[in-house]
Amino acid sequence: MSKERRSYVRKPVKAGDLPGHFFLVYGDKTVEFTDVQDVSISGIGLTVDLSVPTGAEVGLIYDSFDMSVQLRGNVVWSVKEGDLSRVGVHFDSSDMNDNVLFFMVIREYLDDSAPQFNFG
């Protein structure tokens, strides 16, 4: 098993509690996602209805009636599960302010009852 290299705590999100919509952009495809396994200020684990390979550059968008946040990132792992893909995206660190804002948008919806791990 490889050594965990995450610098920030990852937290699970309660499904269905988000007031806006999340989208992943890969190439010319944009798909909405609602299944977020975990999120931190440096990345996100999610499930999408799209095949996205490890190493791919992607865009992430959060859009609600009063806010829109757009990020870039790289897929650091991808696991195909039937028609879906579970992917881990590391946010582009060139604009940490957007990364923090993206995390803050959903922080109030974090599931505090789930176990949380610090992989620092």
CATH number at residue 96: 2.40.10.220
Query: Which pLDDT does position 115 carry in this prediction?
Result: 39
Tokens at 40, concatenated: 């931190």
Tokens at 75, concatenated: 């897929």
For residue 64, being part of any structural domain is answered with yes
What pTM did the predictor assign?
0.76
Tokens at 107, concatenated: 């922080």
Pairing assessment for the beta strands 21-26 and 29-33 based on DSSP bridges: antiparallel
Locus of tokens 């959060």: 62
Please tell me the distance from the alpha carbon of residue 98 to that of residue 12, in angstroms, as a whole number.
20
For residue 99, being part of any structural domain is answered with yes
Please tell me the distance from the alpha carbon of residue 102 to that of residue 106, in angstroms, as a whole number.
7
For residue 67, being part of any structural domain is answered with yes
Per-residue pLDDT of the chain (120 residues; tens, 9 = 90+): 445 454 544 455 554 556 778 899 999 999 998 788 888 888 999 999 999 999 999 999 988 888 888 999 999 999 998 989 999 999 998 888 888 888 877 665 555 544 343 333
